């Protein structure tokens, strides 16, 4: 039991990203409204960001900005003192990609609304079926 609790606590970030991911996937698949789906999509993406940031965390480390700036440049930098910067970099990119996707998705939603006057998937399907 203790072991389980320990695992649960030691890795709660990972549990959290999995649950966020599931929330996002659920929203994309099960929600009927396209804006909701898009929100779900964003939640999915941020869940992955959470995962990456969790990777980069290091106990007892600080933010990855080298402290002793000018003058001490040749002093060896102890990597253990700093967080892992690479996932941060990757996630900057991922956030930007997410906002780009969001922009396109919302643009499509606006187009969709102009055409169907609704954002509910089932209503749109009905309209298509009626048109045929």
CA 2 to chain centre: 31
Which of 3, 71, 74, 129 binds other proteins (CB under 8 A)? It is 74
- Residue 110: left if φ>0, alpha if ψ -120 to 50, beta else—which one? alpha
The site that binds other proteins (CB under 8 A) totals a number of residues, namely 101
Q: Which of residues 76-95 bind other proteins (CB under 8 A)?
A: 76-77, 79-80, 82-95
For residues 23 to 62, the per-residue mask of contacts with other proteins, x marking binding by CB under 8 A and - elsewhere, is xxxxxx--xxxxxxxxxxxxxxxx-xxxxxxxxxxxxxxx
Q: Does 99 bind other proteins (CB under 8 A)?
A: yes
Distance between CA atoms of 102 and 108, rounded to whole angstroms? 10
Q: What is the DSSP letter of 66?
A: -
Closest CA to 11 of 51, 43, 63, 49: 51
Q: Which of 5, 10, 129, 130 contacts other proteins by CB under 8 A?
A: 10
Instruction: For residue 121, give the 3-state DSSP assignment.
Output: helix
Considering the complex, what minimum distance in angstroms separates the CB of residue 2 from other proteins? 15
Among 2, 69, 71, 130, binds other proteins (CB under 8 A): 69
* Residue nearer to other proteins on the CB measure, 1 or 83: 83
């Amino acid at each position: 039991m203790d072991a389980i609790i320990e695992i649960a606590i030691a890795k709660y970030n990972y549990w959290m990203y999995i649950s966020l991911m599931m929330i996002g996937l659920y929203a994309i698949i099960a929600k009927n409204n396209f804006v909701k789906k898009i929100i779900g999509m964003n939640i999915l993406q941020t869940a992955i960001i959470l995962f990456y940031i969790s990777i980069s965390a290091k106990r007892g480390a600080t933010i990855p900005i080298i402290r002793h700036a000018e003058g001490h440049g040749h002093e060896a930098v102890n990597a253990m003192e700093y967080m892992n910067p690479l996932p941060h970099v990757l996630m900057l990119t991922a956030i930007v990609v997410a906002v780009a996707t969001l922009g396109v998705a919302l643009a499509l939603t606006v187009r969709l609304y102009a055409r169907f006057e609704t954002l509910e998937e089932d209503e749109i399907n009905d309209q298509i079926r009626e048109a045929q």
